[in-house]
Amino acid sequence: MTAPSNLNIVPFVSVDHMMRLVLKVGIETFLTELAAVIEDDFRRWEQFDKTPRIASHSKEGVIELMPTSDGTLYGFKYVNGHPKNTKEGRQTVTAFGVLSDVGNGYPMLLSEMTILTALRTAAMSAVAAKHLARANAKTMAIIGNGAQSEFQALAFKAIVGISELRLYDIDPSATERCARNLAGKGFAIKSCSSSQEAVEGADIITTVTADKQYATILSDNMVGPGVHINAVGGDCPGKTELHKDILLRSDIFVEYPPQTRIEGEIQQLDADYPVKELWEVIAGKRGGRQSERTITLFDSVGFAIEDFSALRYVRSKLQETGLYIDLDLLADPDEPRDLYGMLLRCEAKLREA
């Protein structure tokens, strides 16, 4: 994408633009290409600034900032998580993000990230499963059929080869909606009446529930040898989905341990309990699955580098698609030190009008 001719202009990708971009590219192609960008950035993990996200917690939910930089670009995401919102007709998670030039500090992109976060979360989940699940995995159980579920299913189909889905939610209407939305997308779909039924015969188990509480979505007896668990829903302090005994039986992979120990499933374990970093597997610095009988667990909480990758990918699509508008976001005085002069010139124009 070429730089705007006016220094005050920043490309803005709205929700409508994002939807049109996904549809123009094709959702499975979008997920596959985004996954490749995430893998590229994980291979150069050591180049990035890394810090746990900055969170403001309340009894109702959480508001977070997620920043990172590779020394050339800087990116951050603003995101919330408020499970009660669905009862008020609002999204549980909303987000927007910014990508900037480290050299001059100017923003290069402002984008919605509610839809984009769902896409990058699904792509990240599938990337992890690509490296950790058994090679012949075909069946996935999705427990929690909310806003993330269809994206997860399509990412696992495109990237891992999943063709059978077993769906369960405590709200049957959520399962019905998910099955309806995924009809004709190349899946054999079974709607289940319990989480126990959903995991029967599953190669991969995705848990993606929303309630902010310590929960046991999976009990120890539900997880057999060789399963890969994609634990997505436990993503803040006081919110988990798996029984502790499952963790103790699993080979655990995380994004960024200092953040995951606060927010992930492993908040249930001792602070020094050994876990493995997924970036090392992707970069070829350590092995992934050890055997066909190993239980692998991706304790996913989402990390800023994934959002950086998503923003970088979206920006790469703007010139060819034109799916953005120019946003007059930054002051651009005729002389950089004469900011007040802009007000005087504006005042003069208003008087002339």
Place of tokens 């208003």: 350
CA angle, 147 then 151 then 154, to 5°: 150
CA distance 20 to 17: 5
Secondary structure (3-state) at 317: helix
CA distance 151 to 120: 9
Q: Among residues 235, 251, 299, 307, which one is catalytic? A: 235
Q: Which amino acid is at 343?
A: L
CA distance 241 to 264: 9
**Beta bridge mates, 299:** 231, 254
Number of other CB atoms surrounding residue 63 within 10 Å: 14
Secondary structure (3-state) at 229: strand
Q: Which amino acid is at 174?
A: A
Provide CB contacts within 8 A for 109, sequence distance 6+. Answer: 10, 11, 13, 97, 98, 99, 311, 314, 315, 318
Provide CB contacts within 8 A for 348, sequence distance 6+. Answer: none
Catalytic residue check, 307: no
What residues are annotated to the active site?
Answer: 235
